[in-house]
Amino acid sequence: MDLRLIPDPPATESPIGRALTAMAAGEPVVLIDDRAKVPAGFLVAAAEAVSTKTVAFLVRHSSGLLCVALSGSECDRLDLPPMPGAGQSPTQFDACVTVDAANGIATGISAHDRARTVALLAAADSCEGDFTRPGHVIPVRYAAGGVLRRIGVAEATADLAQAAGRRPAALFDAVVGLRRPTELADPCELREFAESHDLVTVSVSELIAHRLSLEPLVSRRATTRLPLRAETMHAIGYATVFGEEEHLALVTGDPAGLDDVPVYVHRECLVGDVFGSLRCECRHRLDNALATITAEGSGIVVYQKSNSRHTADASSPAQLSEEELFPFLAANIVQDLGVRSVRLLADQEPHRNAFRLRGLPTRMHRLAVTAIS
């Protein structure tokens, strides 16, 4: 990948930049889960850097139900099985059996005791014998791939800790209302709370945008030569780094290092692509795009396969939709092919935006839709 095309890291004064600085220093941050059905706010902190004072602060201002997001492999290593019934609904997190530190604590419930338990959960050298079960801290297994795989508070906090350079173990707890302590804090109260304690506020949407814009999203797999249209193209397979979804780049010539490379992004349409259905323009658009890049001697068609994971859960708030995710995957595929700037062969506004956010200079070029016989 041409790293010159990756934009600079977030400015330190941006919400995500300030949140990562605070997390790296072990300070708590207010995370707004604006993607949940009922938006809520959480106090979150990198577990390995957290002090007893910070745990006391969390306990004082939150529900008191301290959770620590851990990877599946850490949960397995520390023998933390799922709590019976956990993770039944797609929006629910995967809670494990509760734990306390086996040594160095009194009853386990004080901030001091819970800080020790949290530190042990985050330590690379702790082991299953360091904990007693049940206890007063809830380990939560987050989905590998974080918010790009599942949009949840456990995934978001672990992502923040990791992006801050800390181990992906993160403490989180829901903030309670300032004026209505019997309820969770509403968005107004969350802002007020963060301001009064000089805490950084960051939203799950901001974290998702940060990851989609800056991180490697795909990795290159097999390349095959594909005779097509009296021309030999290269078909290059890509897989997402946070899942198993696969996409394809059809490449003519060698676009690496070139400017104004024609690029067309196509989303799989079985009835159109394979059977030439007249109910949509998919087949015509694909044919035209392939004809265009063949005629120009250099270009890319990104063919994105619809995946049951996304389509089946399109209505679920717990996963990114294809509409949201695919333009960024396409941009990263084009980046991986090393082009300097792009001419998008269609009116694909979300794609132009994604390409721009990933630092790829892009202009639009309307693709004429005419039948090719």
Q: Which is nearer to Zn ion, 280 or 371 (CB)?
A: 280
**Contacting Zn ion (CB under 5 A), which of 30, 200, 282, 329?**
282
Subset of 144-203 contacting Zn ion (CB under 5 A): none
Strands 131-141 and 231-240: what pairing? unpaired
14/277 with CB nearer Zn ion? 277
Residue by residue, DSSP assigns 148-197 as: GT--SHHHHHHHHHHHTTS-S-EEEEEBBPSS-TTSBPPHHHHHHHHHHT
Residues that bind Zn ion (rule: CB under 5 A) add up to a total of 4
Q: Are 19 and 205 in contact (CB under 8 A)?
A: no
Closer by beta carbon to Zn ion, 278 or else 280 = 280
**Residues 96 and 201: beta-carbon distance below 8 Å:** no
Q: Which stretch binds Zn ion (CB under 5 A): 36-44, 112-120, 164-172, 277-285?
A: 277-285
Q: Yes or no: say if 200 and 194 are a contact pair by the CB < 8 Å rule.
A: yes
Task: Report the nearest approach of Zn ion to the CB of residue 92 (Å).
Answer: 35
Dist CA 283 CA 285 (whole Å): 5
Q: Please check whether residue 206 is in contact with residue 32, taking contact to mean a CB–CB distance below 8 angstroms.
A: no
Q: Between residue 110 and residue 149, which ones bind Zn ion under the rule CB under 5 A?
A: none
- Closest CB to Zn ion among residues 272, 299: 272
* Upper half-sphere CA count for residue 324 (Cβ side, 13 Å): 18
CB of 312 to Zn ion, least distance (A): 19
Radius of gyration of the chain (CA): 24
- 372 belongs to the binding site for Zn ion (CB under 5 A): no
Q: Which is nearer to Zn ion, 267 or 340 (CB)?
A: 267
Distance CA 32, CA 202 (A): 6
Rounded least distance, CB 263 to Zn ion, Å: 19
Taking the complex as a whole, the smallest distance from the CB of residue 272 to Zn ion amounts, in Å, to 3
| Nearest C-alpha neighbor of 173 from the set 158, 188, 153, 200 | 153
What's the closest the beta carbon of residue 286 comes to Zn ion, in angstroms? 9
Measured from the CB atom, is 51 or 277 closer to Zn ion? Answer: 277
Q: Toward Zn ion, which CB reaches closer, 274 or 280? A: 280
Helices (H) and strands (E) in the chain, counts: 12, 15
Contacts of 26 (CB under 8 A, 6+ apart): 45, 46, 49, 50, 51, 54
Say which residue the tokens 């072990």 belong to: 26
Residue 269 in the binding site for Zn ion (CB under 5 A): yes
Q: Which stretch binds Zn ion (CB under 5 A): 95-103, 184-192, 266-274, 345-353?
A: 266-274
Choice between 282 and 331, CB closer to Zn ion = 282
For residues 348 and 329, the answer to whether their CB atoms sit within 8 Å is: no
Of 70-78, 104-112, 252-260, 275-283: span binding Zn ion (CB under 5 A): 275-283
Query: Rounded to the nearest whole angstrom, what is the least distance from the CB of residue 258 to Zn ion in the complex?
Result: 30
List 272, 307, 328, 346, residue binding Zn ion (CB under 5 A): 272
Nearest distance from C-beta of residue 69 to Zn ion, angstroms: 40
In the bound complex, what is the minimum distance in angstroms from residue 269's beta carbon to Zn ion?
3
Binding of Zn ion at residue 280 (CB under 5 A)? Answer: yes
Residue closest to 161 by CA, chosen among 48, 279, 293: 48
Contact residues toward Zn ion (CB under 5 A) are 269, 272, 280, 282
